[in-house]
Chain A
Amino acid sequence: NAGVTQTPKFQVLKTGQSMTLQCAQDMNHEYMSWYRQDPGMGLRLIHYSVGAGITDQGEVPNGYNVSRSTTEDFPLRLLSAAPSQTSVYFCASSYMDSAPGAQYFGPGTRLTVL
């Protein structure tokens, strides 16, 4: 099992650029989520999904889009990057009966927006 994988590990964008952060899991988990981690802020939920075709907003969804076309993949799209989106992004997944508490986290993507 590769677990939860994220690509890229690092990314630098200019303000206004768009990009997609990739997340995949091979554990057949129904629940997937995206968090951002900022210094002194803990982790905050951006979007989550309880299955293919079903997504919902978390605490900080503005400026981000998600879709879930397969069980395995849950990409996060930045539509027009802003410096305030400089952060470390974590994808996580779990079975529904342990969601959202007991999740498996990916290694993270460190994003810098200039």
Chain B
Amino acid sequence: GDSVTQMEGPVTLSEEACLTINCTYTATGYPSLFWYVQYPGEGLQLLLKATKADDKGSNKGFEATYRKETTSFHLEKGSVQVSDSAVYFCALTPNQAGTALIFGKGTTLSVSS
């Protein structure tokens, strides 16, 4: 079945460091891909998305490119801030109406000043 695999955390960085969180997927057809972020004590928020191969999603300095050849959607940021500390979830929806949003297990990011 369809699945999402994320790098295990926690990821610990200093402020202004570069961030990459790896995400790969297994899916039939052409899924849509998403990154969600969960700040401490809150629900999930959609961070960015991409719906077809080579699309780049971007928001709040974060970027991810839909790479069909490597089935990947890695999350990147050039300079992280303490306020970026959160849990990041990679997710996909198969290209079928009414089906579920399939999540990875999440990667915890901790940024220190």
Contacts and interface: CB of A to CB of B under 8 A. Distances in A.
Contacts of B82: none
A44 B100 CA distance: 9
B99 interface: yes
Give the dominant DSSP class at B's interface: strand
A15 B4 CA distance: 33
Given A43-B89, A107-B42, A50 B98 contact: yes
A53 interface: no
A74 interface: no
Contacts of A33: 100-101
B93 to A, nearest CB: 4
B45 interface: yes
B98 A42 contact: no
B43 A101 contact: no
| Band of interface residues on B | 20 to 34
A50 B100 CA distance: 12
A92 B101 CA distance: 11
A40 B105 contact: yes
The interface centre, meaning the residue of A33, A58, A101 with most chain B CB atoms within 10 A of its CB, is: A101
B74 interface: no
Interface of A: 4, 33, 40-45, 48, 50, 56, 58-59, 90, 92, 99-108
